[in-house]
Amino acid sequence: MVRGLSAVCGIIGVAVERGALPEKLGDVLYGCLKRLEYRGYDSVGIAFIDDLGRLVVRKSVGKIDEVREKIGFSEIDGVVGLGHTRWATHGRPSDENAHPHTDCSGTIAVVHNGIIENFSELRKWLENLGHRFRSETDTEVIPHLIEEFIRRGMSIYSAFKRAVSLLRGTYAIAAIYAGGRRILFARNTSPLVIGLGKGYNFIASDIPAFLRYTNRVVVVHDGELGYVTSSSVRLEAADGKVVSVETRARVVEWSPEAVEKGGYRHFMEKEILEQPQALAQTIAGLGEEVRRAAELIARAERVIFVAAGSSYHASIIGALALTRLAKVPSVPLVSSEARWWLGRWLSDRDVVIAVSQSGETIDTLIAVRIAKDLGAKVVALSNVLGSAIPRESHLAIYTRAGPEIGVAATKTFTTQVAALSYLAATVAKLRGEASRSEYEAVVEDLRRCPISASLAIESGRSLVSKALDVFVRSRSAFYLGRGFGLGVAKEGALKMKEVAYVHAEAYPAGESKHGPIALVEPGFPTLFCACSSEELEMVASNVEEMKSRGAVTILVAPRKLAERVRSADHVIEVPKHLSPAVQAIPLVIPLQMLAYETAVARGYDPDKPRNLAKTVTVI
Ligand code: M6R
């Protein structure tokens, strides 16, 4: 039985005049793929057109540095090339299933990110026409379709367009062909951006891939397709009209250094340590967009957050801040579950807030579409300008954390919390639920936040020195909290799970007695998070419960308040804030650092956790 092997991936294409870029084509592709590796790292492949106009494909299972020699990047020269880094969602990664995929004649190469849902029927049809398939992937139908339409007399571009018109599913596709200098591309749902240079143009899944060479970008929208050469770009809308690239082009503010490790051991370490700066930039940039979203939310009957992973944890904190401070009933929903909860009860009096750092998470995008269909107003919070979720929402707020390369979200989480805290305070002020001084207190908290994030890094060092050994030795741990502290506990536990592979379970502290406490035995690490004195007072009894069962208890809490619970084995103090939502920011930083150091001490690469991809664009 033929099974489709789909993938979440990074794709890159470059068309260049000789000498226009400082490196040879192979080295450019290597560098771009390296910067895309966080999107997937099961296998790597490239295709390029050699001096004789022939198509050459090289691919292998493994991480890019493991296969660098085998692929021979540094020997490759040429003027047009494609690259792909793959994270398999079904089946094992293998050389055959690695991209690029080619047609029967080996003259057309395609890289793809997404899922072709109707690939089985297309494949059957093509096989009946005599096409021979080499892999089990859904992607391989694309080069064969193009080949088929060329056989029927179409030009390469017409054949590409015809092939794309037959695809159902999600895709970002790039294709090259023997003797050609164009890179053909098409997008539906999976991200795709064009990088505009002088004497060269790129097509990629993400801006960081080519940021070293250009910061002028064009985001390709759903249904659009076209091609790039070294000196031109053709972009067609879904209705076939030509889109003006100059009008669409934007300059991104991210610096090329932001996507380099710059002396740090890993991107995760760099991104944890650059949180003070990321917070300062984000807070400084929160203005008109927040005011407009706040006006919408101030009139709302209910607010529903939809998000995944760390963005969901930020949503717990945001929903609680809106409920408690602004008195707008708000709930967080895991976006992949949203379809079961959202229904006809939703109306244009409700606001859905879609939180996604990448702006491309498919589950969150689908939840946005459902909410819009049901009539709700949608506000997006994202870190990536022009990405799908903000584009499809009625309003968008942006964090300004800079590109995040580490698979584990760190600076994008804390900047989301900062933006949501400010949004909640602005809504509270508009609704008359917060006095001027209460509003000013949140603004002052946010103003101080970059400094307290720096001080929290010191608290993190203290947590690492006290708790690293116990986490390195442990297979499981509890992270407990209440209210805002639960959002922090969940985020801390997720970091520990995803990079250090310790089964860290986050639980509402009060719920721990209803079952999970049975797991506790002497030496079991239990970490408590509290964002306010109210939370701390309630968590204090849970510390005692765990301690009396032999757990190693660690409390992370605001300075001065933490003094009240001296019974924990280790007490880690972080700078104190008045707003419990803002308090979450310095509280989570030590937890990020503990997860990072545990991963390193256990010998794992925290930038490339096993089985994970940075952006999940398949359901
Ligand atoms: O780009 P998004 O914020 O939508 O991503 C959501 C999750 O995939 C993401 O937070 C994931 O859980 C991270 N690996 C967490 O560190």
Structural domain contains residue 619:
no
Query: Higher confidence at residue 488 or residue 93?
Result: 488
Based on the fold, state whether residues 164 and 288 are members of the same structural domain: no
Structural domain contains residue 457:
no
Question: Which of 259, 282, 307 represents a domain boundary (last residue)?
Answer: 259
**Confidence class of residue 535 from pLDDT cuts 50, 70 and 90?**
very high
Would you say residue 204 has pLDDT above 70?
A: yes
Phi/psi zone of residue 134: left (φ > 0), alpha (ψ -120 to 50 degrees), beta? alpha
CATH of residue 77: 3.60.20.10
Q: What is the pLDDT of residues 224-238, one digit of tens each?
A: 999 999 999 999 999
Would you say residue 89 has pLDDT above 70?
A: no
**Confidence class of residue 617 from pLDDT cuts 50, 70 and 90?**
confident
Separation of CA 355 and ligand 1 centre (Å): 10
Active-site residue, selected from the candidate residues 9, 449, 529, 531:
9
Separation of CA 416 and ligand 1 centre (Å): 12
The protein residue with its alpha carbon nearest to ligand 1, atom 8, reads: 309
Separation of CA 616 and ligand 1 centre (Å): 8
Our count of domains for the chain comes to 3
Q: What pLDDT does residue 198 have? A: 97
Atom of ligand 1 nearest to the CA of 358: 1
With pLDDT > 90 as the criterion, what percentage of the chain qualifies?
A: 84
Q: What is the pLDDT of residues 354-383, one digit of tens each?
A: 999 999 999 999 999 999 999 999 999 999
Separation of CA 358 and ligand 1 centre (Å): 8
How many CB atoms are closer than 10 A to CB 318?
A: 29
Q: Is 409 in the pocket of ligand 1 (CB under 6 A)?
A: yes
Question: Which of 229, 259, 289 represents a domain boundary (last residue)?
Answer: 259
Q: Is 364 in the pocket of ligand 1 (CB under 6 A)?
A: yes
Q: Who contacts 558 (Cβ-Cβ below 8 Å, separation ≥6)?
A: 530, 531, 532, 573, 574, 575, 576, 577, 583, 586, 587
Q: Which domain holds residue 477?
A: 464-610
Would you say residue 274 has pLDDT above 70?
A: yes
Based on the fold, state whether residues 307 and 230 are members of the same structural domain: no
Q: What pLDDT does residue 285 have? A: 92
The protein residue with its alpha carbon nearest to ligand 1, atom 12, reads: 309
Separation of CA 411 and ligand 1 centre (Å): 12
Would you say residue 90 has pLDDT above 60?
A: no
Name the 3-class secondary structure at 118.
coil
Q: Is 336 in the pocket of ligand 1 (CB under 6 A)?
A: no
Atom of ligand 1 nearest to the CA of 361: 4
9 flagged as catalytic: yes
Structural domain contains residue 90:
yes
Question: Which of 210, 235, 259 represents a domain boundary (last residue)?
Answer: 259
Would you say residue 205 has pLDDT above 70?
A: yes
**Confidence class of residue 1 from pLDDT cuts 50, 70 and 90?**
very low
Q: What pLDDT does residue 2 have? A: 37
Would you say residue 4 has pLDDT above 60?
A: no
241 flagged as catalytic: no
Q: What pLDDT does residue 51 have? A: 85
Name the 3-class secondary structure at 569.
coil
Would you say residue 87 has pLDDT above 90?
A: no
**Confidence class of residue 189 from pLDDT cuts 50, 70 and 90?**
confident
What's the whole-model pTM score?
0.82
Would you say residue 191 has pLDDT above 80?
A: yes
Active-site residue, selected from the candidate residues 34, 59, 497, 614:
614
Atom of ligand 1 nearest to the CA of 409: 16
| DSSP character at residue 92 | -
Would you say residue 5 has pLDDT above 50?
A: no
Q: Which residue has the tokens 């997860």?
A: 595
Atom of ligand 1 nearest to the CA of 311: 3
Q: Which residue has the tokens 């964090």?
A: 399
**Confidence class of residue 434 from pLDDT cuts 50, 70 and 90?**
confident
CATH of residue 524: 3.40.50.10490
Give the strand pairing for 302-307 and 350-356.
Answer: parallel
Section 319-335 average pLDDT: 97
Based on the fold, state whether residues 527 and 390 are members of the same structural domain: no
Q: How far is Cα 329 from Cα 404, in angstroms, rounded to an integer? A: 32
Q: Which residue has the tokens 């989301």?
A: 416
Q: Which residue has the tokens 């708000």?
A: 330
With pLDDT > 70 as the criterion, what percentage of the chain qualifies?
A: 98
Residue of 8, 41, 361 with the most ligand 1 atoms within 8 Å of its CB, for mutation: 361
Structural domain contains residue 440:
no
Based on the fold, state whether residues 356 and 389 are members of the same structural domain: yes
What does the mean pLDDT of the chain come to? 93
